[in-house]
Structure 1
Amino acid sequence: MIVSLSDSRMLKKIKKQDMNAIIHWFDTRKSKFYKIGWAYLKSHHDVEDVFHNTIIKVHEKIHQLKEEQYFDTWVTSIFINECRNLYRKNKQREMEGPVVTEDMSQHETKVEVLDGLAQLDEKYKEIIILKYMKGFSQDEIAEILKVPVGTIKSRLYRGLILLRKVIEGGEGNEL
């Protein structure tokens, strides 16, 4: 990934722990991160909390970034980890509400897929979300999750099989 001149300037400000630069960087990419957060948390309030936590972590840990070209991937990893942490906390509280559906078949299909994803083991769910909802390549997903590309490919394949079984009404937890 090539870092543009404006991104390079922004990154220099971020490395100097300029909170306004970090917030501006996030604001320009908010929809990308929001979609990831929504896939995990399904709550506007929770996604906003994750935004704030991620901004603070980036601010505090920017000195740990080794290569500028991986800044976006590094931040995405932090954001996903924050989503996972909050998801686990929410799951422990078991405060899940019913999903509201409408009569539109496309909306129902999306709800079925999201409900199916919610039933999958996290290792499959996050790869499917990153690949098909966020458009990351398998190589980028491997970098974000810090696992080999072969593992990403096999989990993606197994996850899609399990998702299909869940959506079609079978038990999906066999693999």
Structure 2
Amino acid sequence: MISEEEQNLIKKAKEGDEGSFEALILSCKGKAYNLALRYVKDEQDALDVLQESFIKIFRHLDKFKEDSKFETWVYRIVVNTCYDSLRKNKGRQQERPLAIREEEEGGELELPDNQPLPEDVLLNREHSSYLLQCLERIPEEHKRIVVLRDVTGLSYEEIADTLECSIGTVKSRLSRARQRLKEVYISGKT
């Protein structure tokens, strides 16, 4: 569960030590941002969600019961804030696919080129784009669990804590969600 070091940081943060709070947040900021980005699909919106989440965390730190990892509690708040943001912006939100960034090329130094062939890069991009489109076509509950496990890489335990359900429920929901995603994926390919 929680390490002794994390318990000390939480205790100090609850007592008002800003440095301890900052250390706790920095330990999970990157993963929390990636999680937000997967939900809201825009870098600026993800940063806004993250900022709003961190404000909520700071204000409600005293409510953290320490029965799960701090980062799991943070992810739960980020996911809920993402849903709040998506609901607020539903009417004005446009379809914005996640961009897949290309590697930047370096200077004059000659190194062996281990990069994939341009054709392979294009095929991977098309596949990723299609997979993201399919993900948008499955029910929200299914999308949520696939994103948490397969995109963000959270463990079953972290997902169970985030969604406040049992590990068995996570596994069964994930199985159904993957099956539904597979059906949507295959039906669009034919």
TM superposition shift of 1:87: 1.8
What is the alpha-carbon distance in structure 1 between the residues aligned to residue 176 and residue 67 of structure 2? 34
Give yes or no for the alignment of 1:165 onto 2:183. Answer: yes
Structure with the greater alpha carbon radius of gyration: 2
1:15 is displaced (CA, Å) by: 1.1
CA distance in 2: counterparts of 1:65 and 1:97, whole angstroms: 34
Corresponding letter in the other structure for 1:3: S
Kindly, what percent of the aligned residue pairs are identical? 33
Find out whether 1:59 has 2:58 as its counterpart: yes
What are the ranges of 5 or more consecutive residues in structure 1 without an aligned counterpart? 171-175
1:3 aligns with 2:21: no
Distance 1:100 1:141, change over 3 A: closer
The question of 1:144 aligning with 2:143 is answered no
1:82-97 matches, within 5 Å, as 82-97=81-96
Conserved 8 A contact 1:17-1:62: no
Letter in 2 for 1:91: K
Deviations 1:124-150 (A, max 9, x none): 111111111222222321121012333
Which 5+ residue runs of structure 2 have no aligned equivalent? 103-120
In 2, Cα distance between equivalents of 1:72 and 1:34 = 12
- 1:156: Cα distance to partner? 0.9
* Helix, strand or coil at the partner of 1:126: helix
Q: What's the TM-score once normalised by structure 1's chain length?
A: 0.82
> Using the alignment, how far apart are the partners of 1:8 and 1:99 within structure 2?
36
TM (norm. structure 2) is 0.77
How do 1:9-88 and structure 2 match up within 5 A? 9-67=8-66, 69-88=68-87
Q: 1:124 aligns with which of 129, 134, 142?
A: 142
Equivalent AA in structure 2 for residue 72 of structure 1? E
| 1:116/1:36 CA distance change after superposition, 3 Å | same
CA distance in 1, matches of 2:136, 2:22: 30
For residues 68 and 15 of structure 1, the distance between their equivalents in structure 2, rounded to whole angstroms, comes to 15
Name the structure where helix makes up a greater proportion of residues: 1
User: Aligned AA for 1:60?
Assistant: R
Return 20-29 or 156-165, whichever deviates more.
20-29
Q: Secondary structure at the match of 1:168?
A: helix
Q: What's the Cα RMSD here? A: 2.4
